[in-house]
Structure 1
Amino acid sequence: MDKLTLSPDANPHLAEIKVSGELAYSGSFLKVEKDIVRLPDANQVTREYIKHPGAVVILPLLDDGTVLMERQFRYPLNQVFIEFPAGKIDPDEDALVCAKRELLEETGYTATEWRYLCTIHNAIAYSDEHLDIFLAKGLVAGKAQLDEEEFLETFTATIPELLDWVRTGKITDVKTVIGSFWLQKVLSENW
């Protein structure tokens, strides 16, 4: 069997099958599901997981080679994080449309060139969340249009700075860690 064949049908010896399920919590943004599943050995266990609509991450590369970044307070960890612009995909919204909207809302910038890089799943043990990562170039400055409850500030950094901040633990946000490595590879034309 090919190591990269990942579908449950091709790997029945690993698949967990839903027997029953219920909505354990429903909030304005997240939902928590509680399912009973049958394991490959026929035992049944409970799986609790967060349903998430998905999000986008934008790697905004300025013409001078610096990257537009954000500092934002994140309540669950009670600290300010360095991050790439990102945001939740609205129902029935195309990911690229969302990326363009989020870049404008959070930073005021628009971009003339967009490139889809990859999709990541950042919390596979307890969430179905996915993040579509886009490279944005040809940036044009404008006025940010932050949501009413959104507070952040933007700044620029070099890619060597980003990589050093990842190495030293100043950047720990997974989307920003992965995005920094993608930028390094894309710009060195390794990917």
Structure 2
Amino acid sequence: MSRLEEKTISSEPIFSGKIITLQVDEVELPNGRTSKREIVKHPGAVAILPLTNDNNIVMVEQFRKPLERTIVEIPAGKLEKGEEPRETAIRELEEETGYECDSLEWLISFYTSPGFADEIVHLYIAKGLKKKKDAATLDEDEFVNLLEISLDEAIQLIKEQKIYDAKTVYAVTYLQLQEAMKK
């Protein structure tokens, strides 16, 4: 055991839902004492940074119940059992936006809240967007407004806290850095 590692003594399932499970682990700390850790288990997710041919970002505006407000986000969704992240990205892009893409490139994967959750998000960039004949096929409990915004508009929405989630801020920052490197 490394000098920082916590050894799991026991794990108690608390809740099992459609998306997450919650467990409480008793752990042995590096100093030999014990403590409890509340852990959210999540199957993982993807997020897609879709860019139109004129470099606008396709985003969705939706109500987020935990925040009690609408926010603007890049399309995203959870991994289905046995589904590879790339497949999920293609599916979610089509379902949420009604777009297909010619090019889908993995950018990075990151943990959202490692202090209490194991959720990992795989971020992709989609280019060569083509609108499908069929409209977006949202989940039955999903309602979104589709937006196409410039990088400057996205930065303004961050300042106004209308873009307020880490995956979208990360994606916009990535684009900002790419633009800065071109200069």
Q: Tell whether the structures are fold-level matches, with TM greater than 0.5.
A: yes
How far apart, CA to CA, are the structure 1 residues paired with 2:175 and 2:123?
A: 11
- 1:160: Cα distance to partner? 1.4
Corresponding residue SS for 1:186: helix
Within-5 A mapping of 1:13-28: 13-28=3-18
Structure 1 runs, 4 residues or longer, greater than 4 Å off: 187-190
From 129, 133, 154, give the equivalent of 2:119. Answer: 129
How far apart, CA to CA, are the structure 1 residues paired with 2:64 and 2:70?
A: 6
Identical-pair percentage: 37
Corresponding residue SS for 1:98: helix
TM score, norm. by length of structure 1: 0.90
Is residue 45 of structure 1 aligned with residue 35 of structure 2?
yes
Corresponding residue SS for 2:19: coil
Q: Any idea what the Cα deviations from partners look like across 1:164-191, whole Å, max 9, x if unmatched?
A: 222342311111111111122234457x
Single out whichever of 132-141 and 162-171 deviates more from structure 2. Answer: 162-171
How far apart, CA to CA, are the structure 1 residues paired with 2:140 and 2:159?
A: 34
How far apart, CA to CA, are the structure 2 residues paired with 1:108 and 1:163?
A: 24
Match of 2:158 in 1: 166
Match of 1:140 in 2: 130
Work out the number of aligned pairs and report it: 180
Please report the RMSD computed on the Cα atoms of aligned residues, expressed in angstroms.
1.3
Match of 1:120 in 2: 110
Provide structure 1 residue ranges, at least 5 long, that are not aligned to the other structure: 1-8
Provide structure 2 residue ranges, at least 5 long, that are not aligned to the other structure: none
Q: Any idea what the Cα deviations from partners look like across 1:45-85, whole Å, max 9, x if unmatched?
A: 00011000000000000001111011000111110010000
TM score, norm. by length of structure 2: 0.94
Q: Any idea what the Cα deviations from partners look like across 1:129-178, whole Å, max 9, x if unmatched?
A: 01000000000012211111110010111111112222342311111111
